[in-house]
Amino acid sequence: AQSVTQPDIHITVSEGASLELRCNYSYGATPYLFWYVQSPGQGLQLLLKYFSGDTLVQGIKGFEAEFKRSQSSFNLRKPSVHWSDAAEYFCAVGALGNAGKSTFGDGTTLTVKP
Amino acid sequence: DTGVSQDPRHKITKRGQNVTFRCDPISEHNRLYWYRQTLGQGPEFLTYFQNEAQLEKSRLLSNRFSAERPKGSFSTLEIQRTEQGDSAMYLCASSLQGAYYEQYFGPGTRLTVT
């Protein structure tokens, strides 16, 4: 069975500082990996996805993530955080043949200090 | 394209009552998914449809839950004899069929059972 672990429940960074959110997955085959952002009371917005190819993927809002197969990780990064990035971030894994459904981590809440 | 919409956005009901939620997917998407998200957790897969056929149901979906997608367009999720443990955000997502198509999420319906 596939699973996702987001080790950090809550992270606080200062505006303008860099950000890295950790994600570890478990899946026997090549995973499809996603990062979503959720603002309070809202649905999920896709930030970026990895299916194959280049292991460094670029997403919206200046985010990027790197797939590291050897570490079973897909960490999300942003070089300079803005106050509007404060939200909850979810990592998810899907798989070919799994009908597109995803397994999500429990999320990391990001607080941005002025 | 107006995205995935869900109605209502909020529902408060008393224990034992029945509730029904509606999801309208992106018009050309033939796959539709329901997820449940409780506080502090990531979304959990409940069920999905390909066109009008319900192809998979999670064991989380007890027999008090039923979902339909009668014409392959909008979907409804009904919960009978609601329990306090049903309080959650119910998220709908849609996608095109195929391994490389990501899911687009609606804003969710927040259910509170008193």
pLDDT in tens, A53-62: 889 999 999 9
Residues of B in contact with A32 (CB under 8 A): 99
Nearest by CB to residue A101, choosing from B42, B45, B100, is: B45
pLDDT tens for each residue of chain A, 114 residues long: 789 999 999 999 999 999 999 999 998 777 889 999 999 878 899 999 998 888 999 999 999 999 999 999 999 999 999 999 999 999 999 866 666 678 999 999 999 999
Min Cα distance A106 → chain B (Å) is 4
- Give residue A27's pLDDT: 82
Is A96:A33 a contact under the CB 8 Å cutoff?
Answer: no
Per-residue confidence (pLDDT) for residue A98, from 0 to 100: 61
Q: What pLDDT does B43 receive?
A: 94
Residue A99: the pLDDT is 64
Query: In this complex, do A34 and B102 lie within 8 Å of one another by their Cβ atoms?
Result: yes
DSSP A108: E
Write A5-10 long-range contacts (CB < 8 A, 24+): A5/A105, A6/A89, A6/A90, A6/A91, A6/A105, A6/A106, A6/A107, A6/A108, A8/A108, A9/A106, A9/A107, A9/A108, A9/A109, A10/A108, A10/A109, A10/A111
Residue A40 contacts B where some CB pair is shorter than 8 Å:
no
pLDDT of residue A101: 79
pLDDT by residue (tens digit) across B30-66?
999 999 999 889 999 999 999 999 988 888 888 999 9
Shortest alpha-carbon distance between residue B19 and chain A (Å): 20
User: What was the pLDDT predicted at B40?
Assistant: 87
Is A43–B107 a contact, with Cβ atoms under 8 angstroms apart? yes
Residue type at B108?
A: G
Give pLDDT, residue A53.
Answer: 85
Residue A91 to residue A93: CA distance in whole angstroms: 7
* Residue A71 per-residue DSSP state: G
Nearest to B42 among A42, A96, A106 (CB): A106
Residue-level pLDDT at A51: 85
pLDDT-based confidence at residue B68 (cuts at 50, 70, 90): very high
Q: Pick from A16, A2, A96, A21: which is nearest to A59 by CA? A: A21
Q: Whole-angstrom Cα distance, residue A42 to residue A26? A: 28
- Alpha carbon distance B109, A42 (integer Å): 10
Mean pLDDT of B93-103: 80
Give the model's pLDDT for residue A1.
76
